[in-house]
């Protein structure tokens, strides 16, 4: 869900070419073609595209690994959001309505006030996402000699027997540190719209999406990716709605990397872009295949690595076609066939295609080793 564009200088807060999922793109003033065209150096272009590919792979890889633990979680608050086949079939329609609604919104109302509301919304959402992303790292990095106090945030309604809990959130000192760091990044983003702050939030959104959004089976994944494949191609090639909205939309829903970094340093402003949808949508399918690997109770992770390499191939092909033909490209046009086709071919060769399509998310727990039965001696010792 991204279109790729070549072009001119853009401000650091430039929105992506696609509202829901922008794509790998060179920054451009596509609106009127009056801006001076920026010609990046080969080194700058290679650095930008290579960095985008690396940043796309990180949340997919680590998000998929974390999704396995998330699926086995016994804590209801940590349970993932499961996408069913009905949800997958409706998603492209909902996405299209949202996209067109935003298009009308920006045509009728001032984009300044709309983007102000969006900034506040993503400020809060980004802080929570970044805090959750940093939590495992903080657990390892937190000094052992510092006290880790436990806290509880409790809101109730009523009194006596009619008292009802509205919010009951438990956290500790580590969580507070993560929250403080995330808040600093959020303030930086709101005030400066700097591309580094944008990427920190974008990576957090992508990793959380891959970790917490679960497809219930492979068929649902094929429906979702197939529907968004059509959505992406239609809105990129069929109309100007996506580009119009994207030029007016400011939010950390894309990863960006400057092509003029070598010339201007951190103040660079000619960006290549990759939308989060082009990471999260294939990413949740790749994470599903990792959980399928786990369910097979084998040491190998064949389907995960196959789909992961397929994603690299598809993203590389997107950049190659864009760079060759100098024209906007919907990334899912290349990512969807690669991410679905490669694992299916491997399953056919291994004779596991039926097992793949029969796999259900609930079967992951069956992959956990059963508890050992106690011997008579162990019972006697107890």
Does a structural domain hold residue 142? no
Query: How far is C-alpha 160 from the geometric centre of its chain's CA atoms?
Result: 44
- Would you state the pLDDT for residue 91? 94
Burial label, 151 (beta-carbon count in 10 A; 0-12, 13-18, 19+): exposed
Give the other-Cβ count within 10 Å of 378's Cβ: 10
Q: Which residues contact 266 (CB under 8 A, 6 or more apart)?
A: 194, 196
Q: How many domains does the chain have?
A: 1
pLDDT computed for residue 165 by the predictor = 81
With respect to residue 181, please indicate whether it lies within any of the assigned structural domains: no
What lies within 8 Å, CB to CB, of 207 at 6+ separation is 58, 59, 62, 63, 66, 133
Q: Which domain holds residue 224?
A: 25-108+193-366
Instruction: Specify if 225 maps to a domain.
Output: yes
Torsion of CA 178, 183, 189, 194, to 10 degrees: -40
Separation of CA 93 from chain center: 20
Annotated catalytic residue 78: no
Token pair for residue 89? 């079939």
Whole-structure pTM value: 0.81
* Secondary structure in 3-state letters for the chain: CCCCCCCCCCCCCCCCCCCCCCCCEECCCCCCCCCCCCCCCHHHHHHHHHHHHHHHHHHHHHHHHHHHHHHCCCCHHHCCEEECHHHHHHHHHHHHHHHHHHHHHHHHCCHHHHHHHHHHHHHHHHHHHHHHHHHHHHHHHCCCCCCCCEEEEEEEECCHHHCEEEEEEEEEHHHHHHHHHHHHHHHHHHHHCCHHHHHHHHHHHHHHHHHHEEECEHHHHHHHHHHHHHHHHHHHHHCCHHHHHHHHCCCCCEEEEECCHHHHHHHCCCEEEEECHHHHHHHHHHHHHHHHHHHCCCCCCHHHHHHHHHHHHHHHHHHHHHHHHCCCCCCHHHHHHHHHHHHHHHHHHHCCHHHHHHCEHHHHHHHCCCCCCCCHHHHHHC
In tens digits, what is the pLDDT along the chain, a chain of 382 residues? 544 443 333 333 333 333 333 344 444 343 334 445 567 788 888 999 999 999 999 999 999 999 998 877 655 556 678 899 999 999 999 999 998 988 888 888 877 877 888 888 899 999 999 998 998 888 888 888 888 888 888 888 888 777 888 877 788 888 899 999 999 999 999 998 899 999 999 999 999 999 999 999 999 999 999 999 999 889 878 888 887 777 777 888 889 899 888 888 888 888 888 889 999 999 999 999 999 999 888 888 999 999 999 999 999 999 999 888 877 678 899 999 999 999 999 999 999 999 999 998 764 444 444 444 444 444 444 4
Q: What single string gives the DSSP state of each residue in 132-183?
A: HHHHHHHHHHS-TTS---EEEEEEEESSGGG-EEEEEEEEEHHHHHHHHHHH
161 in any annotated domain: no
Beta carbons of 219 and 229 less than 8 angstroms apart = no
Selecting among 18, 175, 260, 278, the annotated active-site residue is 278
Nearest by Cα to 199 from 8, 55, 372: 55
- In a domain, residue 73? The reply is yes
Domain assignment present for residue 123? The answer is no
Residue 248 is assigned to a structural domain of this protein: yes
- Tally of CB atoms within 10 A around 310: 23
The pLDDT value recorded for residue 318 is 92
Spatial contact of 246 and 31, defined as CB atoms under 8 Å apart: no
Residues 6+ apart with CB under 8 A from 344: 353, 356
* Known active-site residue 278: yes
Dist CA 14 CA 263 (whole Å): 20
DSSP-derived letter for residue 217 is B
Residue 16 lies in a domain: no
Of 3, 18, 232, 260, the catalytic one is 232
The bridge status of strand 213-215 relative to strand 81-83 is: parallel
Q: Rounded distance, CA 251 to CA 120, Å?
A: 10
């Amino acid at each position: 869900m991204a279109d790729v564009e070549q072009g001119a200088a853009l401000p650091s807060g430039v929105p992506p070419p696609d509202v829901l999922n922008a794509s790998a793109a060179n920054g451009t003033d596509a609106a009127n073609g009056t801006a001076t065209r920026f010609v990046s150096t080969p080194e700058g272009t290679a650095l930008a595209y290579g960095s985008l590919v690396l940043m796309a792979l990180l949340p997919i890889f680590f998000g998929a690994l974390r999704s396995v633990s998330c699926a086995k979680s016994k804590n209801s608050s940590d349970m993932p959001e499961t996408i069913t086949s009905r949800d997958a079939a409706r998603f492209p329609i909902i996405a299209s309505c949202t996209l067109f609604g935003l298009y009308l919104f920006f045509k009728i109302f001032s984009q300044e006030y709309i983007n102000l509301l969006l900034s506040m919304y993503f400020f809060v959402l980004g802080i929570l996402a970044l805090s959750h992303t940093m939590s495992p790292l903080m657990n390892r990095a937190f000094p052992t000699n510092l006290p880790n106090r436990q806290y509880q945030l409790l809101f109730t309604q009523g009194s006596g027997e009619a008292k009802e809990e509205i919010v009951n959130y438990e956290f500790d000192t580590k969580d507070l540190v993560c929250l403080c760091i995330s808040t600093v990044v959020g303030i930086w983003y709101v005030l400066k719209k700097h591309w580094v702050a944008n990427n920190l939030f974008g990576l957090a959104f992508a990793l959380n999406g891959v970790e917490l959004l679960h497809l219930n089976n492979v068929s649902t994944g094929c429906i979702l990716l197939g529907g968004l494949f059509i959505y992406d191609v239609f809105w990129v090639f069929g109309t100007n709605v996506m580009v119009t909205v994207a030029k007016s939309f400011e939010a950390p829903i894309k990863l960006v990397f400057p092509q003029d970094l070598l010339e201007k340093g951190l103040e660079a402003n000619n960006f290549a872009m990759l939308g989060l949808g082009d990471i999260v949508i294939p990413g949740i399918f790749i994470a599903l295949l990792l959980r399928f690997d786990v369910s097979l109770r084998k040491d190998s992770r064949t389907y995960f690595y196959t789909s992961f390499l397929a994603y690299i191939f598809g993203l590389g092909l997107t950049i190659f076609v864009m760079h060759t033909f100098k024209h906007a490209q919907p990334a899912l046009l290349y990512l969807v066939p690669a991410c679905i086709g490669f694992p299916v071919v491997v399953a056919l060769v291994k004779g596991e295609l039926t097992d793949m399509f029969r796999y259900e998310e609930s079967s992951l727990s069956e992959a956990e080793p059963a508890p050992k039965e106690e011997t008579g001696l162990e019972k006697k010792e107890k």
